[in-house]
Amino acid sequence: MGEEAAIDRLPLHLLAYIFSLVTSFTELAQASGVCKKWRKAVNQSMARRQSLSFAGWKMDDDSTSRLVHLAYNLKELDISRSRWGCHITDNGLYQIASARCVSNLTSISLWGMTAITDSGVVQLVSKTSSLQHLNIGGTFITDESLFAIAERCHHLKTISMWCCRHVTERGLLVLVNKCRKLESLNLWGTRVPVDCFIALLTISPALQIKPIQLLLNAQNPPPPLLHAV
């Protein structure tokens, strides 16, 4: 009882600092249920966080959105799918898009989120005016998402579209044309022809296209075959 009383006497800001060191969302949820003061401290600790990663956690739309809404100062958000399954749908992206922190996010990873579509991605990126780094690899997005990113994310520096096999040359050209700060583009596993990479490099010669072999193929096309007379 004495130890509990000592903890209860801690000021709110100190409790919030202690909870900010806790990495388990399950433990934070349990702490939030102890008493009103602890709930406030947990909420304050979330508000201080500048980075959140749900990779490896069994999260759904509502639980993910609730935590993001508490993280007022968030800069980096990672809701990548892991082997344990972070199951986020378009509904989750709709909810996250209304969070106060979204306009200040500089990094978002949606890697492997196979349940999301263009609809959710478009809704989210329409609010991410500060975005610099985006990973949408392993999803089924199409050019529709790229058009929305091109229109809104003018500070974008890197984007990964690993195995996004539904994006086309048209979407990539619009993206590179409008995102003039873009430095790196990961197109591993896409179905875009080499001619597209040549066109992208014409627009932005310093653009780093990954994997590097795609860039080399675009810059050094093979010589024409010589036919025997």
Among 72-76, 170-174, 195-199, 222-226, where is mean pLDDT lowest? 222-226
- Are 115 and 10 found together in one domain? no
Residues 68 and 40 in one domain: no
135 vs 224, more confident: 135
- At 19, is the pLDDT very low, low, confident or very high (cuts 50, 70, 90)? confident
**For residue 219, what pLDDT is reported?**
58
Decide if pLDDT at 110 tops 60.
Answer: yes
Q: Examine residue 220 and state whether it is found in any structural domain, yes or no.
A: no
> Could you list the residue range(s) of the whole structural domain that residue 166 is in?
48-208
Does 121 map to a domain?
A: yes
Q: Do 61 and 36 lie in a common domain?
A: no
pTM of the model: 0.82
Residue 81 and residue 170 in one domain: yes
Question: What is the number of residues in the chain?
Answer: 229
Mean pLDDT, the chain, whole residue set: 86
Distance CA 221, CA 195 (A): 10
Pair 70, 43 in one domain: no
Domain count, the chain: 2
Mean pLDDT of 177-203: 93
Residues 90 and 134 in one domain: yes
Of 200, 188, 198, 199, the C-alpha closest to 219 is: 198
Which residues is 52 bridged to in the sheet?
77
Distance CA 133, CA 25 (A): 25
Q: 89 and 20: one domain? A: no
Q: How far is 154 from 131, CA to CA, in rounded Å?
A: 8
Q: Is residue 157 part of a domain?
A: yes
Instruction: Quote the CA–CA distance of 13 and 109 in Å, as a whole number.
Output: 31
**C-beta separation of 162 from 186 below 8 A:** yes
What mean pLDDT is predicted for residues 212-217? 60
**Encoded amino acid at 212, one letter:** I
Q: Report the CATH number at residue 40.
A: 1.20.1280
